[in-house]
Amino acid sequence: MDAKSTLVRLLAEAGITPNGPNPWDLQVHDDRLWNRFVAEGTLGLGEAYMDGWWDVEDMAEFFNRAIGRTIDKQFRPPLSLIWQHVQARYLNMQTVRRSRRVAKMHYNETDAYRASLDDRMTGSCGYWPEGVTNVNEAQEAKLDLVCRKIGLKAGQTVWDIGCGWGAFMGFAAEKYGANCVGVTVSPDQAEYGRARYKDLPVEFQVKDYREFTGKVDHVVSMGMFEHVGYKNYRNYFEAARRAIADDGLFMLHTIGSQWTTRTIDPWIEKYIFPGGVIPSMGQVGEAIDGIFTVVDVHNIGPHYDKTLVAWYENFERNWPKDRDAQGERFYRMWKYYLLCCAGGFRARAIQVWQFVLSPKGVPEGYITQR
């Protein structure tokens, strides 16, 4: 059976009909798509979309169905993916030097983030409890939840590992009277945050987390652990333990995988997060062994589907409509990034975990926050 026939059959099992009438049915503009996907896997699928070979009205739902059927796992892995696994196994792809790659490649896309994110530029999953209706409210709810989870009090100091544009630090300083210090490998993020929060007790340090030397009451980290790499998980938690007070709490917010892996999707690796890896529960548990006690775990994975769709709606509304060929390719790349990830969370193939960790446990017992 040829590539097209095989893929059409697998798509049908997922309720997807090529060139069909449903919003999640992909519309194929170039029949070379089928062989390209079989030969190059998800990297080829994403690049084919960037090249204009196919479209789909509801991309998030298309990926929900396709990922749920594990269509990409039905074929022999392409050589590019095998090489990616070999590198990850034998090399540390997230050294201090290599950690700068994601800043140069991705976090300098400030205009795209401004067009997509909430008013605070919060670059991680929002929290959508009952009554929250938009992404600004969802991110405020998430930031408040994090402050409550660590029991933040006025005058305390918090280290934000991978602080981004400073959304958490600004919120914690404004709403809770905290002092905050954050590290980011992106000079652009630090420049933005310093200007926005110049009147608050907020400090941005452009450095890798392994280079931080301060002492703090609490530690938080949101959407950064996915850049650490499995060879560095232990070092990451040791760095947090060196910084945190014995009675402090560490709130770790990370995307999580059901399976232990060493690499990320090849298209995401190439175009979005070089060196990214999604940790498993087992990897986190092994890395904190003897360093931290888990006092709470909260899975908010479904909330990232809603967040990513809201980001896409912002992006679609705010991004310039008058685009040259290069601009159109970037637009399609960014759209694909947001909505293929939304589909992954909708399919529950990936999670979002919030861990609350304590160096020595909480003697009086931890009161769960939701």
Residue positions annotated with a catalytic role = 341
Extract the tokens encoding 308: 């990513």
Contacts of 117 (CB under 8 A, 6+ apart): 123, 135, 311, 314
Residue type, 73: K
Report how far apart, in Å, the C-alpha atoms of 67 and of each of 42, 51, 124, 344 are.
11, 22, 22, 7
Q: Per DSSP, which regions of 150-229 are E strands?
A: 157-161, 179-184, 202-206, 218-222
Q: How many helices (H) and strands (E) does the chain have?
A: 14, 9
Strand pairing category for 350-358 and 250-257: antiparallel
The whole-angstrom separation of Cα 24 and Cα 55 is 10
Extract the tokens encoding 161: 């590992």
Contacts of 83 (CB under 8 A, 6+ apart): none
Instruction: Report the alpha-carbon angle 105-72-109, nearest 5.
Output: 15
DSSP 50: H
- State in Å, rounded, how far the first CA of the chain is from the last one: 51
Beta bridge mates, 183: 161, 205
Q: Are 173 and 203 in contact (CB under 8 A)?
A: no
Secondary structure, 3-state, 3-46: HHHHHHHHHHHCCCCCCCCCCCCCEECCCCHHHHHHHHHHHHHH
Report how far apart, in Å, the C-alpha atoms of 339 and of each of 236, 315, 332, 335 are.
30, 11, 11, 6
The whole-angstrom separation of Cα 182 and Cα 158 is 8
